[in-house]
Every structure is written in C-alpha cells, then in structure tokens.
C-alpha cells in the first residue's frame, strides 16, 4: 500500500494495528507512511506486507 510521496507529510504510526487508519490518513493527506510501531505479531506481519519499505518498531 505504500504510495509514493506526493509532497505530503511523512507519517509515523504508533499502535498501528492493521494499518487502516494509516491508509486513510495517507489517502487524504497524500503523504507517505515511513514508520510503524506495533507489538502484535499478526498485525506487524500485515504491516510488513502492505508497507515493505518503512521502518518497523516493536
């Protein structure tokens, strides 16, 4: 789901869950998600699939 930065803000996400809010914010603001922080292994696996290039923190 990683969209190229279209001049919007660089977005960081804490307690990211499965990334639904991140996708919405990215779509509205036109920015790019550059990092996620998520403790749940299942959610972190989904984030890694949709945003393979961003930094991951646990």
Give the pairing of strands 10-14 and 55-57: unpaired
DSSP state of 17: T
Q: Quote the pTM value.
A: 0.73
At residue 38, the pLDDT reads: 93
The span from the CA of 54 to the CA of 48, in Å, is: 8
**pLDDT digit string (tens) for 7-55?**
789 989 999 999 999 999 889 988 888 999 999 999 999 999 988 888 8
């Amino acid at each position: 789901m990683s969209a190229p930065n279209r001049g919007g803000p660089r977005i960081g996400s804490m307690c990211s869950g499965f990334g639904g809010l991140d996708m919405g914010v990215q779509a509205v603001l036109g920015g790019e998600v550059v990092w996620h922080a998520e403790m749940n292994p299942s959610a972190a696996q989904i984030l890694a699939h949709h945003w393979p290039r961003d930094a991951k923190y646990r």
